[in-house]
């Protein structure tokens, strides 16, 4: 299984949108920074054809240290949750040889 990383996005932007490497890096960084800032203030990010990102509150709970078995209080926190859209689910679950692509 291969990874889809920032550098791959840079390559796609350079070839597909004819951007210079520095422009592709700056655009990618700006998009990621903007998305992170939106999630930090509680906004929902909806990307048609991909899905939506939102933050959810996790309650505090009691756990234990597996090494010492000492009880540990885990504080409440916010986590990022991704909900894929139907088209993405279909594309992921389609047989590989069909070549289904999300558009």
Average pLDDT over residues 1-10: 88
Q: Domain check: are 73 and 30 in the same one?
A: no
Question: Quick check: 48 and 85 in contact, CB under 8 A?
Answer: yes
- Sorting pLDDT into bands at 50, 70 and 90, what band is 84? very high
pLDDT tens track for 6-57: 999 998 888 888 889 999 999 999 999 999 999 999 999 999 999 999 999 9
Q: Domain check: are 67 and 99 in the same one?
A: yes
Please tell me the total count of domains within the chain.
2
- Sorting pLDDT into bands at 50, 70 and 90, what band is 98? low
Q: Domain check: are 78 and 95 in the same one?
A: yes
User: Among candidates 87, 98, 84, which has minimal Cα distance to 51?
Assistant: 84
| Inter-CA distances, 19 with 31, 39, 52, 70, Å | 15, 28, 27, 54
Question: Quick check: 66 and 27 in contact, CB under 8 A?
Answer: no
| pLDDT at site 36 | 96
Residue-number span of the structural domain to which 76 is assigned:
44-103
Residue 103 belongs to a domain with what CATH number? 4.10.520.10
Q: Domain check: are 51 and 97 in the same one?
A: yes
Beta bridge partners of 82: 53
């Amino acid at each position: 299984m291969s990874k889809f990383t920032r550098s791959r996005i840079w390559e796609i932007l350079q070839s597909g949108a004819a951007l210079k490497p520095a422009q592709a890096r700056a655009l990618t960084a700006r998009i990621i920074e903007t998305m992170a800032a939106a999630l930090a203030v509680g906004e929902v990010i909806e990307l048609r054809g991909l899905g939506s990102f939102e933050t959810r509150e996790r309650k505090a709970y009691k756990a234990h240290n597996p090494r010492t078995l000492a009880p540990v209080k885990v504080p409440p926190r916010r986590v990022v949750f991704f909900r894929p859209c139907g088209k993405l689910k279909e594309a992921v679950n389609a047989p590989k040889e069909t070549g289904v692509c999300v558009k």
